[in-house]
Amino acid sequence: MNSHLIAPHIKQKLEQIVNIPTLPQVLAKVIPMLSDPKVSAREIARVISQDQSLVSRVLRIVNSAFYGFPRQITTIDHALVILGFNRLKAAIFTASVLEIFRDGKNAIGFDVQGFWEHSIGVGVVAKSLAKYLRLPNVEEHFIFGLLHDVGKLILDYYGKEYYKKVIKLRADKDIPLIKAEEEELGFNHGVVGALVLDRWNLPPDVIDVVGWHHSVLNYEGRFLQNVAVVSVADALTRLVGIGNGGDPYVPDLSQNLISLLRLDLASIDFVLSESIDQIESMKEFLEVIRGE
């Protein structure tokens, strides 16, 4: 769902109601580097060293209970040795995106704390699913899950007056948030997230997961497994009540979707059980997100 695939009238309306921010200079450099296989972790570390706030956030993430290393990691180079390239990239990617929303405590009309609890939960379950399915680049599935609902946050941060109407409509009619978005705005948070992440030059797999996680069976792109994993993880995370996705409804977990990933009840139970311990470490991770 790259921006050129979004109908022009939707893009026009979105740009009218959402003041899409530009990325800070260092993030604008770092984010494209994270998806470039020719770029080394040391090159990335040199760039992020220009922003000590970002360095601090990366080190807090890798030293959190979420990663579970017994000894303190004190530098980005040290993190590279301990975590390896892919896990460090995931941590930097996560910190970079969180840096964009570091003033989230000021958002209104939306449960930001519950949002991040849900998003982290989806990231953990998505990573566990990817590991169970033996998919490549398992660490990236945490990022996919973490960002899957970022369009909601973008609307709440940068289109508050419009999104307050969406939230009120959802409550008044007692309907899923995504239906309230489509009724009030003419598009949903997936479209918003995909357009903005494309504008920020995030990788195409992230953009497609964000744009299609509510309509997997209509997706015809090359990242079908990634989209399906996050869609299932989203439903499972809501089913067990982790965080707040904006409404009490559990997305449809159709048999077609389960079959697509060759899952059954036993495998789903195993993945959820494996995820619970990691989700328990989310409190410290949330403190990193809030910058505390």
CATH of the domain at 108: 1.10.3210.10
Q: Is 127 contained in some domain? A: yes
Q: What is the DSSP string of 13-63?
A: HHHHH--PPPPPHHHHHHHHHHT-TTS-HHHHHHHHTT-HHHHHHHHHHHT
Place of tokens 């990022």: 143
83 and 132 belong to one structural domain = no
Q: Can you say whether the dihedral through the CA atoms of 63, 67, 70, 74 is positive or negative?
A: negative
The one-letter code for the residue type at 207 is I
Runs of H (alpha helix) within 112-243? 112-132, 138-147, 150-158, 160-173, 177-185, 189-199, 204-212, 224-239
Residues in the chain: 292
pLDDT digits 0-9 by tens, 19-73: 777 777 887 888 888 778 888 878 888 888 888 888 888 888 888 777 777 788 8
pLDDT of residue 3: 46
96 and 109 belong to one structural domain = no
Q: Is 7 contained in some domain? A: no
Residue 168 belongs to domain spanning: 104-292
- Phi, psi for 181 (deg, rounded to 5): -60, -50
pLDDT digits 0-9 by tens, 216-265: 988 999 999 999 999 999 999 999 899 898 898 988 788 888 988 999 98
Q: Is 109 contained in some domain? A: yes
pLDDT digits 0-9 by tens, 151-192: 998 888 888 888 989 999 999 999 999 999 999 999 999 999
